[in-house]
Amino acid sequence: MNAAAVILCAGKGTRMNDNSRNKVCFDCAGTPVVRRIVHAMRAAGVSRFAVVVGHQAQTVMDALDGEEGVFYVYQKEQKGTGHAALCGLSALRSLGFDGPVIVSMGDKIISAQVIGGLLARAGAAKAVWGVQPVAANPQGGRVIVSDGTPFGVIELADAALMSLSGKEPEQWEGILNGLGLNEKKRRKVLRQAREKAPEDSVELGGRRFSAAEVLATPWANAALYCFDLASALEAIGTLGSDNAQGEVYLTDTLAWFAARKEAVLYEILDPEDMLTFSTKPELREIGTHFMRSVSSFMDDLRSGALDPALRSIYGPLSEEQKPRYLALLEFFKKRYGDRKVLITRSPGRVNLMGRHIDHRGGGINVMATDCDTLFVVAMRPDDEVHIANIDPQFPERSFSISQTLGLAPHEDWLAYLDAEPVVAALRETRGDWSNYVKSSVLRFQLESDMPLCGMDMAASGCIPVAAGLSSSSSIVVAVSEAVVALNSLNISRQRFIDLCGEGEWFVGSRGGAGDHAAMKCSARGRITHLDFKPFRVGDSVPFSERYAIVVADSCTKAKKSEGSKDIFNSRVASYEFAFMLLKKRFPECDLHEFRDIAAQRPWSSVYRMLKVLPEAATRAELVKALPEYAERVAQIFASHADPGFYDLRGVTMFGIAECLRSLRCMDLLADGRYAELGEMMKVSHDGDRLVEETFSDRRLEELAAREYDPALIGGGYNCSTPAIDALCDLLNATPGVLGSQIVGAGLGGCIVALVRKESAPAVLELLGREYYDKNGYPHSAHVFVPSSGSAVLF
């Protein structure tokens, strides 16, 4: 059948309380609503789609990008559904189309079965009219039927206006409230009643129907139609706008078709055949319709139906991942039942260059690893979050979103985190994995204008814990993916990353969002550059098959929630204090972010700026030097224990050099200069070694005189460990290894090495013999391939 559709997407959708995109573009179980509509219609035989746009037209076009057979018709002014349909129908006629046309609203997801049913009856009538029981659509226009014959449609607002006829004005509010009219329609009806006395009945097809008769009809208009194109254009041409809304109603065409006995009704009895929404909670509710049950997920994994999705994530390693998914689904089923669920995953990450600088506006060059954290998640009707882990070392936990936020005022996230009841609660649960779940849920709740749903969650992970591969951040990202997907939140990628980074402040650290960005944005087989402040996804280049990434766990841990956060936060504080001093001393340099220091030229000017800083400073000295920043200085002090002194020059030198190294990384990869990248990794790690590298006035003057490239200097961040340094030294002396460095924030964890692919097996054997066996550690080195970023499976 040669069928077309007109989809009306020009409305504002004000009840969504979100003007950033058109209502039809919100995700429903991971897919924009309007795209789901097109897919269902296409499955029923529709091949051409006239999408009528107006408000936020570009967002509609973005949501349908790549869909075949779609074209757009712009409705400049909203003059009602009749006028919008006229725009689309006229465009189809201008293209020479003359077959049956489905006309539907863009906020209704209709099953392919219903669309097929409408088209099947198109040969029997010029207009096939979709109707629902009033109970399923109480706000819909009332379809007047007498003795099996349709007469027309009376909008609920017009029926409500009629019901006010003969009543005293003081009774009007009560009558309208009893009819369940929404606030917008209620105000319009009251205004119209005050301007002109309402009539007590309406004429349709030569008969008059009272308000009581209209409101007693069992059928509501489903706002879904199948028209003969020429007849629909003729019918709409007869319409006026003399009604409570002052608009051209498409529904008025039923009377025109009925008078000619060219209309039949199509009854839609199953509520799941037509899913509609006006608010975010309603959209969230219909999203569950498109989720699989646990059993269905398991069947689809075993049958291969999910193979394309897994291959897009893991590539040739996808078969190896199936047992993990099946085990976690079985675990969820035993713990929570065979529920409708989604699966989220977030990978570990490796940053090849750009350590400790994302929160200063520096860039990073990242890949996701094929080890990851998985969650199977179901919606709860309350606001409780229940979490269980397939690994018994992580105990089951639960919390209430509202009760946890109720510990302190939470209009401001940082103020909430610093409030004593919150600090005390965290002190009691320090190190508990549930705090990373709370990090995500609480931060996203503060961003949302509706209460988030509760969740039942089961987790499984294969990222080494406290090893520098961001296992903790992967929990935050995976949970955040679940929160956004289940609640159909309108969150941009950039805002998602920001909220993940800010959310993790809940555990005490005050780092940036680089790890979370890497997990969200990475692409399989590629290294991606990410910029911050503002966030931007930069170049992405293929990782050469001639080389490999080896990640070796030192088997020494750095648990941010158990004390090392004081060291991490003191380094960040050194950045901030140095930047305050330099902004104050060099206003002419127009410094907005720390990275701007690295942009100064010639190099000598960078060293002369560094010379202004004290080599180290105590808290008392900083308070005296920065009186204009007193409030911010106090806030920074509160984030960590007093380290005694802050190494301002060493940390600043590292940050400047690492910003430069990060910028050069992608060029080296793109040009195939992997050996140079390896050397740069060695220099970068030198900046984290636990050796005292001083930057005295004399040394800075010598560097300035030589115009020495800062990227070739390690700096003094000092977050390595003796074990990490020994690993790097062992690898750097090994044939086939181009370079190595610490991974992550430091104080333990892993190192990453860039090696020639043919040398990777020998490197793993060497690590096992010379490091793991000699220290009594389990063999914990692996070759990783760049994997995909975080994902949601429905």
Cβ contact 700:611 at 8 Å = yes
Q: Quote the tokens at residue 772.
A: 């793991």
Cβ contact 162:201 at 8 Å = yes
Judge whether residue 562 has pLDDT over 60: no
Q: Quote the tokens at residue 513.
A: 């969002």
Nearest 5°: the CA angle 477, 478, 481 is 85
> How confident is the prediction for the chain on average, in pLDDT?
94
**Per-residue b or e along 683-722, where b marks 16 or more CB atoms closer than 10 Å to that residue's CB:** bbbbbbbeeebebeeebbeebbeeeeebbebbbbbbbbbe
Q: To which H or E segment does residue 547 belong?
A: strand 547-553
Cβ contact 50:5 at 8 Å = yes
Position 561 scores a pLDDT of: 46
Rounded Cα–Cα distance for residues 15 and 23 (Å): 9
User: At 290, which amino acid appears?
Assistant: F
- In the block, tokens 């003081």 appear at 170
Query: Residue 523's CB: how many other CB atoms inside 10 A?
Result: 16
Q: Quote the tokens at residue 575.
A: 């950045």
Model confidence, pTM: 0.83
Lowest mean pLDDT across 311-320, 481-490, 640-649 = 311-320
Rounded Cα–Cα distance for residues 583 and 412 (Å): 27
Mean pLDDT in residue range 548-566: 78
Cβ contact 264:148 at 8 Å = no
The 3-class secondary structure across 192-254, one letter per residue, is: HHHHCCCCCEEEECCEEEEHHHHHHCCEEEEEEEEEEHHHHHHHHCCCCCCCCCCCCCHHHHH
Rounded Cα–Cα distance for residues 82 and 248 (Å): 5
Position 242 scores a pLDDT of: 65
Mean pLDDT in residue range 412-426: 95
* pLDDT above 90 coverage of the chain, percent: 86
Segment 8-51, tens digit of pLDDT:
999 888 889 888 899 999 999 989 999 999 999 999 999 999 99
Rounded Cα–Cα distance for residues 109 and 41 (Å): 10
* pLDDT above 70 coverage of the chain, percent: 98
Cβ contact 379:288 at 8 Å = yes
Task: Indicate if the alpha-carbon torsion angle 670, 676, 682, 683 is positive or negative.
Answer: negative
Judge whether residue 514 has pLDDT over 90: no
Position 654 scores a pLDDT of: 98
Segment 370-409, tens digit of pLDDT:
899 999 999 999 999 999 999 999 999 999 999 999 999 9
Cβ contact 244:181 at 8 Å = no
Indicate the DSSP class of residue 382.
S
Distances (CA, A) of 329 to 288, 301, 341: 17, 10, 9
Residues whose CB falls within 8 Å of the CB of residue 332, separated by 6 or more in sequence, listed in order: 294, 339, 341, 376, 378, 456, 458
Rounded Cα–Cα distance for residues 741 and 114 (Å): 60
Q: Quote the tokens at residue 589.
A: 């340099």
Segment 148-183, tens digit of pLDDT:
889 999 989 999 999 999 999 999 989 988 888 888
Mean pLDDT in residue range 729-745: 95
Query: Residue 138's CB: how many other CB atoms inside 10 A?
Result: 13
Rounded Cα–Cα distance for residues 83 and 102 (Å): 16
- Model confidence at 559, in pLDDT bands (50, 70, 90)? low
Rounded Cα–Cα distance for residues 52 and 73 (Å): 5
- Give the strand pairing for 201-204 and 207-210: antiparallel
Of 70, 51, 71, 57, the residue nearest 12 (C-alpha): 57
**Helices 722-732 and 674-686 sit at what angle, rounded to 10 degrees?**
150
- In the block, tokens 């220091």 appear at 597
Rounded Cα–Cα distance for residues 786 and 767 (Å): 22
Position 469 scores a pLDDT of: 80
Rounded Cα–Cα distance for residues 788 and 58 (Å): 28
Mean pLDDT in residue range 406-430: 95
**φ, ψ at 546 (rounded to 5°):** -80, -10
Rounded Cα–Cα distance for residues 150 and 130 (Å): 12
Cβ contact 547:674 at 8 Å = yes
Position 681 scores a pLDDT of: 98
Position 563 scores a pLDDT of: 63
Residues whose CB falls within 8 Å of the CB of residue 792, separated by 6 or more in sequence, listed in order: 30, 342, 343, 344, 481, 482, 485
Position 148 scores a pLDDT of: 83
Rounded Cα–Cα distance for residues 79 and 102 (Å): 20
Distances (CA, A) of 411 to 281, 417, 436: 22, 11, 21
Mean pLDDT in residue range 339-363: 96
Cβ contact 75:4 at 8 Å = no
Overall residue count recorded for the chain in this entry: 794
